[in-house]
Amino acid sequence: MTVSFQKWLLGLLLIQLPYWVVSQSIQPNKHALLVAVADYPITGGWDQLSAMNDIQHLQKALKTQGFAPKNIEQIANAQVTKTGIEAAFGRLIQRIQPSDVVVIHFSGHGLQLETNANKIDGLDECFVTYPALSPEKIDINDSVKLQTEMAKYIRGHELGVLLKKVRQKLGPKGDLLVMLDFCNSGGATRGTNKVRGGKKPLVTKGFNPNQHQRSDSSQLFREAQLMAETDGLSPYSVISATRPEELDTETKDENGKGIGPLSYAAYLSFQKMGNNITYQGLFAKIQLAMHQLVKEQHPLLEGNAQNKQVFGGAIVLQEPFYEIDQLLSPALLTLKAGNLSGLGAGTKLGFYPIGTTQPSSLKPLSFGTITKSYQYEAEVQLETPGAIKNTKDAWVFVLEKQMVLPKLTVGIRNQISERPEEKSTLEHLIAGIPNISIGEQPDLWLVKGAEKDSILIASNASCFAAVPELLNNTMVLKEQLRRYGQYQFLLGLQEQMPDQKVVVSLLPVINGQIDTNILPKKTINGILEFEEADQVTLSINNQGKKAVYVNILDLQPDGIINAILPYKNAPEGKRNYMPQDLRIMPGQAYVFEPKDFLIKLSKPYGTEVFKIFVSEKEIDLEPMATRKFHSGNAIQKRGDLTQIENLLIESYQPMIKRGGGSADGSISDLLFRIKPKLN
């Protein structure tokens, strides 16, 4: 199946990058644009902020990283109009050259405005410019006045167009870091510190408040329809001050003066950054600093440069890692991943300093073992109590994979069954793999080939894996059989929480438009049946009483697992759906418009399963997607679905219970069939 997403603004910023090291011979020039509004006009209804202190600290920090003062431009207060921002970007683009490094920072208030685009929350995330009025100062009954005032804000798609121009000028060897120290969340002010944003969205009288959910400022980069011409853009990283449900609350600097928490955390982190740190590592340091400054806030990192060294460095291979969720005691903690990520009881873990890329050459801060595992989290017993004092102290790496396999029966086919010596060798190899036996009615067929060996699913003859010398290598064969066991395990998962009810539907698309009139013709014995090349989109309806997050995995008949939602690293031209985007409010029915989200159905034929995962907590099951595997010299993939790199595909865990007290979310199926197109 091919999943095609219309470009939105975050996708505008994306570019596919290789995961090997790429060096640059020319030292890039470094440039910065700092935008801040501290002294909003009293008549505008906005509180005064400490944003000037933000850019003063950032100027100092950037100078320590080799940014020349002449290359750091700031615009502040009355200069920060929409026209002023556009002019500043124009000057920046004139100064920079291909392969340069650019840092762009915004400090001020944020707000959400009603949009007519098909967004899940129905709102645009915006930066509040100096002349923009706050919602309580605007008469929403006067539509002309309302539109005039809305035009003074800078919306996400407008900022995104400017950022795309910067990326075009920088080119694929350039670097762009964007930091946003404001939020768009509505809600009451916490404590006495100043809040950046925090006002209710500015909407028309007819706006449906049930569609509103708080979201993060990084959505500035995801809300515009994207263009088709996106080749040659620079990689980028975006660091936002808050998660969707949080407010951006000012903190105090070393002199007791107010300052934005992201700005101050970046200031502190730049000073202790080191030479070879990646953007992912820099973000981890910012996370730690913000945790110490404002424990209630959790910044977000997005983009495609996480594995690139900061400010024009090489791309490095980052081993997959997990994050600590909570410290329950000096010897016990929880992880933000569990059974569905392959982390079952008994898994051995290593805790390493944040920023670690290759743990094998380093000494860990501590070892640990998973003692209990749930769907989306796990409990870990530390070998050295007290070694981890803060949830941001370490990244967690898997040291020992569990290779327990389900009980499977395999059969041997083709010429090898007629060659006694080769058959005997293969039987001896299989006999050494626990839970695997040879029988006449197998689950899988093992087929010896001239250039590659294959594993076929007996029920439908689909090729599950095709790898050179597969049947001569015990470890490779065990890995492929384990992968099939994981697929079968996911296929059988079912769970229903009483207060969660989410209905996901496939909607046929004809000539770019949703056409539900043909659904009766497509429904055979209660199951939707499509032909190859048919196009569909999705609708998600939360019929429960609580807001929930939704993930969807696609289980193909040939055992391949695709991530449908979330879809974080789409190639250029595709829309990204981040885990925090997928929060559906109670009573909300969201339809993915074909221009934004389109699924083209293709081989293999047979019954396909969309596995729907629902949780009150934000979840991310995209890493469960199938790793690339080789067939001869070609890489197999389905349609134009980009396969996920650096996946966290761990072992199949037979001790995982279906149902019972360990459930922390609902799991259901959407079944449909794909058949050949009739001529």
How does pLDDT run across 402-449, given as a tens digit for each residue? 545 668 899 988 666 567 777 788 888 888 887 889 998 999 999 988
- Three-point CA angle 178, 11, 71, nearest 5°: 25
CB-based contact 196:246 (threshold 8 Å): no
CB-based contact 11:222 (threshold 8 Å): yes
pLDDT of residue 118: 55
Question: For the sheet containing 154-155, what is the strand order?
Answer: 110-114, 123-127, 154-155
CA distance 489 to 652: 8
- Residue from 284, 360, 270 nearest 319 by CA: 360
Q: Would you tell me how many other CB atoms lie within 10 Å of the CB of residue 526?
A: 6
CB-based contact 401:373 (threshold 8 Å): no
CA distance 548 to 616: 5
Question: For the sheet containing 175-181, what is the strand order?
Answer: 72-76, 30-36, 101-107, 175-181, 236-240, 300-303
Average pLDDT of the chain is 81
What type of residue sits at position 162?
Answer: L
Residue with tokens 């929880």: 334
Distance, C-alpha 15 to centroid of its chain = 15
How does pLDDT run across 239-264, given as a tens digit for each residue? 999 876 678 889 999 999 999 999 99
- Residue from 339, 333, 324, 321 nearest 381 by CA: 333
**At 269, which helix (H) or strand (E)?**
helix 261-271
CA distance 89 to 85: 6
Q: Would you tell me how many other CB atoms lie within 10 Å of the CB of residue 92?
A: 20
Tokens representing residue 624 in the block: 């469960």
Tokens representing residue 120 in the block: 């899940």
Confidence of residue 468 (pLDDT cuts 50, 70, 90): confident
How does pLDDT run across 348-376, given as a tens digit for each residue? 999 999 989 889 889 999 999 999 988 88
Tokens representing residue 230 in the block: 């996106």
CA distance 426 to 512: 52
- Residue from 124, 113, 108 nearest 75 by CA: 108
Write the DSSP symbol of residue 139.
-
Dihedral angle computed from the Cα positions of residues 341, 342, 343 and 345, in that order, rounded to the nearest 10 degrees: 140
In this structure, what are the phi and psi dihedrals at residue 650, rounded to the nearest 5 degrees? -105, -165
- Map out the domains of the chain with their CATH numbers: 2-303 (3.40.50.1460), 322-400 (2.40.10.410), 408-492 (3.40.50), 502-675 (no CATH)
What type of residue sits at position 390?
Answer: N
How does pLDDT run across 625-643, given as a tens digit for each residue? 864 432 222 222 333 222 2
pLDDT of residue 492: 81
CB-based contact 345:371 (threshold 8 Å): yes
Q: Would you tell me how many other CB atoms lie within 10 Å of the CB of residue 449?
A: 16
CA distance 263 to 259: 7
Return the half-sphere exposure (C-beta side, CA atoms, 13 A cut-off) of residue 204. 12
**At 553, which helix (H) or strand (E)?**
strand 548-555
Confidence of residue 644 (pLDDT cuts 50, 70, 90): very low
Highest mean pLDDT among 72-81, 342-351, 611-620, 640-649 belongs to 72-81
Say which range, 44-48, 70-74, 638-642, has the weakest mean pLDDT.
638-642
Confidence of residue 55 (pLDDT cuts 50, 70, 90): very high
CA distance 299 to 181: 10
Write the DSSP symbol of residue 309.
B
CB-based contact 260:34 (threshold 8 Å): no
What is the average pLDDT across 462-485? 85
CA distance 86 to 300: 26
* pTM for this predicted structure: 0.67
Write the DSSP symbol of residue 132.
P
3-state DSSP assignment of residue 565:
strand
CA distance 182 to 302: 16
**At 85, which helix (H) or strand (E)?**
helix 82-95
Answer left, alpha or beta for residue 295, where phi above 0 means left and psi between -120 and 50 means alpha.
alpha
Residue with tokens 């290598």: 473
CA distance 321 to 312: 24
CA distance 316 to 322: 18
3-state DSSP assignment of residue 71:
helix
pLDDT of residue 143: 85
- DSSP notation for 406-452: --EEEEEEGGGGG-HHHHHHHHHHHHTSTTEEE-SS-SEEEE--SS-
- Residue from 397, 380, 386, 373 nearest 318 by CA: 397
CB-based contact 14:570 (threshold 8 Å): yes
3-state DSSP assignment of residue 235:
coil
CA distance 140 to 125: 19
Confidence of residue 568 (pLDDT cuts 50, 70, 90): confident
CB-based contact 635:628 (threshold 8 Å): yes
How does pLDDT run across 177-222, given as a tens digit for each residue? 999 998 764 332 323 456 656 566 665 655 565 554 544 444 444 4
3-state DSSP assignment of residue 457:
strand
Positive or negative CA dihedral for 354, 357, 361, 367? positive
- DSSP notation for 145-214: HHHHHHTTSEEHHHHHHHHHHHHHHH-TT-EEEEEEE----BSPPPSSS-EESBSPPB--TT--GGG---
- Three-point CA angle 589, 593, 596, nearest 5°: 125
CA distance 486 to 342: 9
Say which range, 112-121, 165-174, 317-326, has the weakest mean pLDDT.
112-121
Residue with tokens 């014995």: 525
pLDDT of residue 635: 25
Tokens representing residue 190 in the block: 């916490």
What residues form DSSP beta bridges with 101? 30, 175
CA distance 630 to 178: 37
